[in-house]
Amino acid sequence: MISLSLIVLSNTNSNRIFDMNNECFKTFIDSAKTVNKNYEIILVESNKTSNYNYEAPNLKIVVIDEIFNFHKFLNIGISHSKGEYYILSNNDVVFDKNWLVELFKVANTNPILKSFSPYDARSNKLPNDVVLNNDYVCGYQIQKHIAGWCIVVHNSVIKKIKKLDERFNFYYADFDYAMQLIKYNINHALVTKAKASHLEGRANNQGKQLELD
């Protein structure tokens, strides 16, 4: 079985976005090596005329010729994935080299946890003392515990909730995800030492940032 499936949505219509995608892929690949886990990368591409050539290994590009729908496109990415964990990420994310080391420290010692978010001081609005004194913090609050720009979810969660609700085509999609976790009693944790940078404002995909919030 593949351990990690990175699922990224993009409308790659400029060199800037292409470079952003590459940076996301490269930092993810470097982090996957630190935990010695095999991986795949699923790029769900909205630009059907895109002819950019990526060198990232284990990359599959799925071109969608439909009106953009955030949850629908993520569901399509998930349907093409075989990982034990799905990493649902914006393309404007740069991963710390050891973020997966820290995430799996928490996951392996707390098997009740099946959904995770990495930590970015700019995005996750938690008091500094909470972050400094805890390896992880459980909860469902948006922009605190759940970082819509990157969610790591065990495949058993998707099997439970079936799929992401496609009525949420962009806005409030993260709220719906949180409510699904609560509904099915699935525990979510913000892993404070699993660090990633969400480069808000640099992305211009689909005419707006590909965020869940």
**Rounded CA separation 159/96 (Å):** 29
**Confidence check: pLDDT of 201 > 60:** no
Question: What's the pLDDT score for residue 203?
Answer: 42
Question: What's the pLDDT score for residue 80?
Answer: 98
* Residue 61, beta-bridge partner list: 43
Helix 173-183, helix 70-79: angle, nearest 10: 60
Question: What's the pLDDT score for residue 79?
Answer: 97
Contact 96, 196 (CB under 8 A): yes
SS3 sequence, 144-175? CCECCCEEEEEHHHHHHHCCCCCCCCECEHHH
Report percent pLDDT > 90 for the chain.
85
Question: What's the pLDDT score for residue 212?
Answer: 37
**Confidence check: pLDDT of 67 > 70:** yes
Quote the pTM value: 0.92
SS3 sequence, 78-120? HHCCCEEEEEEECCCEEECCCHHHHHHHHHHHCCCEEEEEEEC
Q: How confident is the model at residue 28 (pLDDT cuts 50, 70, 90)?
A: very high
Q: Which of 150, 126, 141 is nearest to 4 (CA)?
A: 150
Question: What's the pLDDT score for residue 205?
Answer: 46
Measured on CA atoms in the order 198, 201, 207, 213, is the torsion positive or negative?
positive
Give the model confidence (pLDDT) of 85-124 as tens digits: 999 999 999 999 999 999 999 999 999 999 999 999 988 8
**Confidence check: pLDDT of 166 > 70:** yes
**Confidence check: pLDDT of 68 > 80:** yes
Tokens standing for residue 3: 């351990």
Burial class for 49, CB neighbours closer than 10 Å (0-12, 13-18, 19+): exposed
Contact 94, 196 (CB under 8 A): yes
Stretch 44-70: mean pLDDT: 95
> How many other C-beta atoms are found inside a 10 Å radius of the C-beta of residue 133?
10
